[in-house]
Chain A
Amino acid sequence: MGEKIKNFFRKDLVQYVVKRILMFIPTLFLISILVFFVIQLPPGDYVSTEIASLITEGELVDADYAAQMRADYGLDLPLWQQYGKWVKDIIWTPTDSTYYRLYHSHHNWKYSFAYKRDVWSVIQDRLGLTIGVTFIIMLFQYVVSLPIAVYASTHQYSPGDYITSVIGFLGTAIPNFILAIILMYLSYKWTGNANVGLFSQEMLQNGVHLYNFGEFMKRMIIPIIVIGTSGTCGIIRSVRAQMLDEVARQYTLTARAKGVSEGKIIMKYCFRAAMNPTVSGLGGVLSSLFSGSTVTAMVLNMQIQGPVLYKALQNQDMYLAGAIVMVQAILVVIGILLSDIALAFLDPRIRYSGGGR
């Protein structure tokens, strides 16, 4: 074990990690430019969206009102100045600023026009739930798919292999939102309740406790089936293929010849090697934990981050959309680094110092 940890902190890996962290800066800088300007691409801005909605609600709005609002929000500045201010305030908002005095934070992610609140407070509202729900679903995916993959690879072309393959493919092939609608329809047809949303009103008011936990789990069934099944197939297929590859290798044969138990061969050697692609795919997980699954969440009326981002983009609530996308980008960058490190830990053959030694 000691050897393993020493190996883990070997010089080339440490150097690699430091280099990667330094690379964060230009990467995030480029991403921030891209994010800021892409969000601004659609014509108009939040003020025009707001005015359109005021008019729909029966208010008359004159041109001065719009101009004043743009000035208040700094939307009348040239784009590059808006961008500069945005980045500067996120990195460091000085102690003698109004923002610091209001929120006691040096990182001003700006204001959400639509929610009329600090952007960070809007994100925070749904962060816990988003991470929780996505985590449960992800756990479901791995818990279900890994045993199936191992079973399918060790029982290749057996009826079990075929059945799981068919179900897995179906899960991937049916778009999530359609599956969600179908399940909601069936739920309504059979039980008279469509189970829209993760929480009953009672839970939203009193919170989820032991006495209503059953009801909560009932409401999790559709999201788990819908989002979970779409991911499981991918995992099953890739792990199964890798496993088949490993099972046929020389070292497996050797181990088997030396009388190592079948379970040990599969779990300790083959499975570990087969996990490589899955682990390297974990990089994206961090970011999806943060946003959740947007379209499905909308269809199922799950109050998580994804629909907030969607609405922010629609309303041109640019700082909110910018913050969510930016945080996602940061998480992707961090996630990739973490999965690289995890991979190194999992597979000592991987080396990070350059060149083909």
Chain B
Amino acid sequence: MKKRVLAMLLVAVMIMTAMTACTKKTETKDNGSKTTPAATSAPKKDDNTATPTPNVVEDVTVDVTTYKEAPILADKVAAGTLPKVEERIPDRDNIFVETNDAAGKALEIGTYGGVINMGPAGGGWGLSRPTLESIIRYNTDGSYYPNVIKSYEYNSDYTVWTFHLREGMKWSDGDDFNADDITFWYYMCHLNNFDGKKSWAALKENVNGEDAWATLTKVDDYTVTWTFVNPKYPADFIMNGDFKFCWAPSHYLKDVVPNYEGYEYVENPYWPNPGERDEEAVRLAAQALGISGESTKDIGKAAVYNFWNTAGIPTLSSFVLLTGTKDDPLCVMERNPYFWKVDAAGNQLPYVDAIHFNATSADGQDLLMFRSGDLDIFEVAMKDIASVLQDMGNKAELRSYASSNWGSYQITFNYATAEPHYSALFANPDFRQAMSICVDREQVSQLLSDGFLEPGQCAPAIGNFGYDAEWETKWTEYDVNKAKQLLEGCGLVMGADGFYTFADGTPFMLTFLAYDGTQDESYPVFEQYFKAAGINCALKNLEVGAFDNEVRNTDWVAVMGPHTSIGGLSLYDRVAPFVPVKGDAAEWYGLYGKWYETKGEQGVEPTGDMKKLIDLYEQWAGTPDSAKKDEIALKIYEVHKQNLWSIAYLKSEGSYTLINSKIKNYANNLVSADLYQYANIAHFEVLFKAE
């Protein structure tokens, strides 16, 4: 009897628990539904940047005479809760037609419905990767085309840039997207630094030695111009990796904009001064919209920068967050019913109804979930690929992303050090050669990557701009004796303890800085080679903040696994990995960057080839011609090839994604780069599930 009572109690408790769980998922925000019919343009490849091998773009027949929509949206239209598809999206002249994937392959016409399951959303940018639509979009070959904007143009001296918008395009809540949303973003969210990004280089220039910002003018509802005093070349403007968006939903956010010390109103002809609005007023207004933050800075970031993370904020993205947060056990991003793209047959995108981000709490769970069929797409570690594919047979397919990094396991030295012994030693290329050839890369490859990563050097990987086979193998032979000769040639003297000292007897010691334990596994491997060659060394692991502080000073010696490593996709992406022009940005040039940024007031003046990089960079930045830019970029690469300021021991690691083989239109041979927004280049809006 007692047992029965207990058993019933157990069931009752379980039901209660279950009910707690159900109540969690009910709150939803309604989508508004205003409409004005509208309309235009199929984008074609536009500018072509530095690439040796452009993609082959397959031909596609486009027929968008009628629009079709997903059944779940058609149901809403029938129920009268959503306007008709023709009223929700731009007309044929203004619509964006997706025809090819980022590698140029023609897209299959998909079927509607289903869900794509992914692992956890991750950091602040996680939800944006599969969903964000930016000003322009890149193909894997570096070419790009207007995306959110219908088209752009610039005048002959590059001082006036015009953006044409798509008439009839709408925010995900149905409100019109037009020039006001751009002036609102610029004057009310960006220039007052509400978004915390006023320092963006794309809209900034130097006028008479002072920082100045572009003037934004609304020409009509669908045209705006950005006017600069100096020429603003594409690389510094539309191609700038930071400049992904320049809009905010004015109808939704206008009451959240701050106006007090630090966030003062910026005079402009479009938006009136809202009057004093202090931090508390901002927080209260934000709370009413479900935007949380502990400060104006937090709220600005949540509302107009990482806006995809806050449910309810209207976006132009393919999928939108309607309830909950990215940290929920299941984070659902639903299809944007006003999404402004169609396929070549006129079907409104995206094809799938939602993307589900499934939280995990330990490593390996995503792999298990993928094998169980609970995930459709997931980034797999190299070592797991073979076993998963073998077990899953034709249920899974592999997609690879080439890396744009210049080699892995990089070390670099403090070339701007004030310490004369090390300064002279590091300036000598023979020293770097010795550091490079004293390591047995074949063995390192086995020890650190099970042989997956091949031996290599700090050089562009094959398929990337500037690839050079000779560079990739420069100083990669394993020759300890030669390394010792080179070190002795640099003036080092072998001591009684088997380690080199400087000629005057000062001990020579390479203390490698590293942060957050990232080198704990690899350092011991390298240490044995260095010590065997007579180079005394140590690892100093710091917490990342302390690490950054330390490398901003002059008295560090070497770094293993730098925060900003040398090299990358191209100078269009970021300049810090190539030229010493930014303060606090990269270890390989240390205080030389500060010198350039502060116009010689602080930092250390570069000389020799470091100086040459700056001269070349100024030429590069000073020309609008992309062919000439490539030519100069190659000269910059040549300087790097000669100097190898950073040494890498293995080739760079690509990344690999496993997809459920039912998923179609996921391109292969993509490129993983910040400029391309990583997985964004897979174009999730065109993926569909063939059941």
Contacts and interface: CB of A to CB of B under 8 A. Distances in A.
A56 B123 contact: yes
Interface in B560-580: 563-564, 574, 576
Contacts of A57: 123-125
A62 B284 CA distance: 29
Contact of A44 (B199, B546, B563, B583): B546
Interface string A184-228: 100010001110110101011111110001001100100000000
A151 interface: no
Interface stretch (B15-23, B502-510, B647-655): B15-23
Given A201-B117, A206-B25, A196 B372 contact: yes
Interface in A94-117: 98, 101-102, 111, 113, 115-117
Given A68-B297, A206-B25, A132 B20 contact: yes
Contact of B21 (A116, A129, A184): A129
Which one of B6, B361, B516 has the highest number of Cβ atoms from chain A below 10 Å of its Cβ? B361
Interface residues of B, number: 74
A44 B330 CA distance: 31
A66 interface: yes
B298 A72 contact: yes
A52 B515 contact: yes
B63 interface: no
Contacts of B564: 55
Given A52-B544, A140-B10, A205 B294 contact: no
Contacts of A49: 544
B362 A301 contact: yes
B123 A53 contact: yes
Contacts of A102: 283-284, 287
Contact of A139 (B13, B117, B302, B582): B13
A63 B13 contact: no
A297 interface: yes
**Which secondary structure dominates chain B's binding surface?**
mixed
Contacts of A193: 372-374
Given A52-B544, A207-B22, A117 B515 contact: no
A101 B22 contact: no
A72 B563 contact: no
Given A60-B574, A208-B19, A297-B361, A199 B329 contact: yes
A301 B284 contact: no
Contact of A188 (B7, B330, B371, B576): B371
A118 interface: yes
Nearest to A128: B20
Interface in B360-419: 360-362, 365, 368-369, 371-374
A194 B368 contact: yes
A44 B545 contact: yes
Contact of A118 (B292, B543, B585): B292
A53 B122 CA distance: 10
A135 B21 CA distance: 15
B25 A205 contact: yes
Interface string B15-57: 1111111111100000000000000000000000000000000
Given A63-B584, A72-B297, A128-B17, A47 B545 contact: yes
A298 B364 CA distance: 11
B359 interface: yes
B534 to A, nearest CB: 33
A44 B7 CA distance: 50
Interface in B486-516: 515-516
B439 to A, nearest CB: 26
B236 to A, nearest CB: 15
B280 interface: yes
A299 interface: yes
Nearest to B678: A58
B361 A298 contact: yes
Nearest to A126: B329
Interface in B527-551: 542-546, 548
A301 B359 CA distance: 8
A206 B45 CA distance: 44
Interface in A13-71: 42-45, 47-49, 51-58, 60, 62-63, 65-66, 68-69
17 contacts: A52-B515, A52-B516, A57-B125, A66-B545, A72-B298, A101-B284, A118-B292, A132-B21, A136-B13, A136-B14, A143-B3, A193-B373, A194-B369, A207-B18, A208-B21, A299-B361, A301-B360
Given A55-B563, A73-B295, A207-B18, 9 more contacts: A56-B123, A57-B125, A116-B298, A136-B13, A139-B6, A140-B10, A188-B368, A208-B18, A299-B362
Interface of B: 3, 6-7, 9-10, 13-25, 117, 123-125, 196, 199, 241, 279-280, 283-284, 287, 292-295, 297-298, 302, 325, 327, 329-330, 332, 356, 358-362, 365, 368-369, 371-374, 515-516, 542-546, 548, 552, 563-564, 574, 576, 582-585, 674, 678
Closest CB pairs A-B (n = 9): A207-B22, A132-B17, A48-B545, A128-B20, A208-B18, A58-B674, A44-B543, A204-B330, A72-B295
